[in-house]
């Protein structure tokens, strides 16, 4: 008979403080035992074990019809010291006799794998089990076999981590609650997986709440944990709180790494606080951390978004002096920045340097170059880069088409712009609000209001709202040429579909222009 062993806790967790009378006691694990095999069961297990350890799988095949879950559990117990053979046996059975496996037999296997820290394999098996069993049922199956297998508590931690990686927060929370009830703790690695998934889905508030729970339950954070806590504060706009966590790292026996610095630099740049961003960067040397390509890209991007290209270029030069090689992201940021300010000449110089340095352009590179040229009305040069896309086996995307449409609209060639729009739709690319609005505006400037209305209807068909300025421009044109009723009909249609832009004054539609007074009255 197998006895229940003393409760063990994850070795990566600091020991809890002594329990006080007010501390809620842990729930006891139900005392379950596995009867010892006798007679035919014992003979079967001995023979089957011999076949497994000698890899005589063909000799095991005739035994499958009488391999009961009871016998399989004992077979796994005899193989506890060899997780590789345990897994091979399980995989062989799933292939040749899958009905032998039950939730209980798989639990025995999982305990063996947890003892040998085979967490990737465990998570794969857990994911398959959870497709047909509830988290609660699985947890209790593992719990009941835990003392029998003299197992590691890390199997429960692996279950939590499986849910964390899958972003199944409710199931992860349920697992954590059950673990606390029975006195099992989480590892910091599993906590980090949970925090990472929360941040990936933008739930910074819950991430900070979970971090506070980690502190309450004595899970010692590592630098990766605190980097995510800093990031969570920054996501909530609490950059100063993030910086305070950064300052406390040393007191916690941890050294910030390049991610710690980059997270804060990025947050300050997003707020336009470049002085503080550079102050954080200046601290890197004091901690023996070298600025990397992400550090410089973050600063360059911050300046470009503020249209401070001179400062962006200064950081770019500093980057090269520091022997940090610019990558495609660096060049794309600069290209986009120069494009935004309409400096296609500087964009061309940046691209030439990129080519000289052997950095391979991607679709974002070409889109930035094409847009910059199109904004300047240089559509022929832009077409040259479109041909280069084809040579590089790259497919134009929605941004490429939008840039080309912009170029034709700048040249007041609404018909050509509309043809490119049609090609865009045929290619399976989805126009955005900006694309529709520049098309409508281009048609209005050419006084082709039928074309503008057609584009507006396409836009409404995609459940997109035009902005007030674009709609006012169109309605002013329709009223001016005596098409008040069409304007009113469009307005009613948009109201019914709740696509009328906020702040749009529809009363303006009833203003009768003097030149159209006779038409309206008739």
pLDDT at position 7 is: 37
Residue pair 449/456 in contact by the 8 Å Cβ criterion: no
The sign of the dihedral angle between the CA atoms of 329, 333, 339, 344 is negative
pLDDT tops 80 at residue 511:
no
Mean pLDDT, residues 241-254? 94
Each residue's pLDDT tens digit, 398-429: 999 999 999 999 888 999 999 999 999 999 99
Residue pair 210/228 in contact by the 8 Å Cβ criterion: no
C-alpha–C-alpha distance, residues 365 and 369, integer Å: 6
Closest by Cα among 302, 29, 60 to 151 = 29
pLDDT tops 90 at residue 241:
yes
Closest by Cα among 387, 393, 385 to 366 = 385
DSSP, res 183: T
Mean pLDDT, residues 45-54? 93
pLDDT tops 50 at residue 273:
yes
In the CATH scheme, what is the code of domain 187-283? 1.25.40.10
Percentage of the chain modeled with pLDDT above 70:
92
C-alpha–C-alpha distance, residues 442 and 439, integer Å: 5
Burial of residue 59, with CB atoms counted within 10 A of its CB: 0-12 exposed, 13-18 middle, 19 or more buried: middle
pLDDT at position 10 is: 35
Provide the residue ranges of all domains of the chain, joining segments of one domain with +. 1-9+30-183, 187-283, 291-395
C-alpha–C-alpha distance, residues 326 and 395, integer Å: 25
pLDDT at position 522 is: 40
Burial of residue 476, with CB atoms counted within 10 A of its CB: 0-12 exposed, 13-18 middle, 19 or more buried: middle
Closest by Cα among 118, 127, 132, 134 to 167 = 127
Which whole-number Å values give the CA distances from 251 to 218, 254, 255, 428, in the listed order?
A: 16, 7, 9, 55
- Which band of pLDDT confidence, cut at 50, 70 and 90, is reported for residue 9? very low
Which whole-number Å values give the CA distances from 140 to 29, 103, 127, 220, 226, in the listed order?
A: 10, 10, 16, 27, 33
pLDDT tops 60 at residue 452:
yes
pLDDT at position 333 is: 97
Distance linking the first and last C-alpha atoms of the chain: 103
- Which band of pLDDT confidence, cut at 50, 70 and 90, is reported for residue 247? very high
Query: Which residues, 6 or more positions from 412, have their beta carbon under 8 angstroms from its beta carbon?
Result: 442, 445, 446
Each residue's pLDDT tens digit, 24-40: 677 777 767 889 999 99
What's the farthest any 2 CA atoms get from each other in the chain? 109
Specify the pTM: 0.82
Mean pLDDT, residues 389-404? 92
Domains 187-283 and 291-395 share a fold: yes
Each residue's pLDDT tens digit, 308-336: 999 999 999 999 999 999 999 999 999 99
Residue pair 164/190 in contact by the 8 Å Cβ criterion: yes
Locate 85 and state its tokens: 């053979």
Helix (H) or strand (E) holding 232: helix 223-235
Residue 172 phi/psi, 5-degree rounding, is -65, -40
pLDDT at position 235 is: 96
Residue pair 146/115 in contact by the 8 Å Cβ criterion: no
pLDDT at position 255 is: 95
Q: Does domain 291-395 have CATH number 1.25.40.10?
A: yes
pLDDT at position 31 is: 67
Each residue's pLDDT tens digit, 496-505: 889 888 877 7
């Amino acid at each position: 008979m197998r006895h229940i062993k003393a409760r063990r806790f994850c070795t990566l967790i600091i020991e809890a403080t002594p329990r006080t009378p007010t501390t809620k006691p842990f729930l006891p694990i139900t005392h379950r035992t596995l009867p010892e095999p006798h007679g035919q069961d014992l003979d079967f297990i001995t023979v089957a074990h011999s076949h497994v350890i000698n890899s005589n799988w063909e000799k095991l095949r005739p035994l499958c019809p009488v391999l009961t879950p009871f016998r399989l559990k004992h077979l796994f117990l005899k193989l506890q010291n060899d997780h590789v053979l345990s897994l091979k046996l399980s995989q062989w059975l799933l292939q040749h006799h899958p009905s032998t496996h039950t939730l209980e037999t798989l639990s025995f296997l999982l305990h063996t794998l947890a003892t040998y820290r085979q967490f990737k394999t465990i998570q794969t098996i857990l994911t398959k089990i959870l497709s047909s069993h509830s988290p609660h049922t699985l947890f209790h199956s593992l719990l009941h076999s835990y003392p029998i297998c003299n197992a590691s508590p890390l199997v429960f931690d692996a279950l939590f981590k499986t849910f964390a990686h899958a972003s199944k927060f409710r199931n992860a929370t349920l697992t954590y609650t059950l673990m606390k009830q029975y006195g099992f703790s989480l590892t910091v690695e599993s906590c980090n997986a949970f925090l990472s998934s929360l941040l990936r889905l933008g739930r910074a508030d819950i991430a900070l709440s979970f971090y506070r729970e980690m502190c309450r339950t004595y899970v010692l954070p590592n630098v990766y944990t605190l980097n995510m806590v800093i990031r969570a504060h920054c996501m909530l706009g609490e950059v100063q709180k993030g910086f305070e966590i950064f300052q406390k790292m040393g007191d916690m026996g941890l050294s910030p790494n390049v991610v710690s610095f980059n997270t804060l630099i990025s947050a300050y740049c997003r707020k336009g606080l470049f002085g503080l961003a550079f102050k954080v960067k200046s601290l890197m040397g004091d901690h023996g951390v070298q600025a990397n390509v992400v550090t410089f890209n973050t600063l360059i991007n911050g300046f470009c978004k503020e249209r401070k290209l001179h400062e962006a270029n200064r950081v770019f030069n500093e980057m090269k002096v520091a022997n940090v090689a610019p990558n495609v992201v660096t060049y794309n940021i600069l290209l986009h920045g120069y494009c935004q300010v309409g400096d296609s000449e500087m964009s061309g110089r940046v691209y030439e340097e990129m080519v000289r340095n052997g950095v391979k352009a991607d679709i974002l590179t070409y889109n930035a170059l094409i847009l910059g040229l199109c904004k300047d009305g240089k559509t022929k040069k832009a077409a040259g880069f479109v041909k280069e896309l084809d040579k590089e086996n790259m497919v134009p995307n929605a941004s490429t088409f939008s840039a080309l449409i912009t170029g034709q609209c700048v040249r007041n060639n609404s018909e050509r712009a509309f043809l490119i729009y049609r090609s865009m739709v045929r290619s399976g690319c989805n126009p955005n609000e900006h694309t529709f609005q520049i098309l409508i505006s281009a048609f209005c400037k050419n006084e082709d209001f039928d074309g503008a209305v057609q584009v507006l209807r396409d836009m409404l068909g995609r459940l997109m709202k035009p902005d007030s300025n674009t709609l006012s421009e169109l309605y002013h044109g329709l009223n001016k040429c005596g098409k008040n009723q069409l304007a009113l009909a469009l307005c009613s249609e948009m109201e019914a579909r709740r696509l009328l832009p906020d702040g749009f004054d529809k009363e303006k539609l009833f203003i009768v222009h003097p030149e159209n007074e006779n038409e309206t009255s008739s």
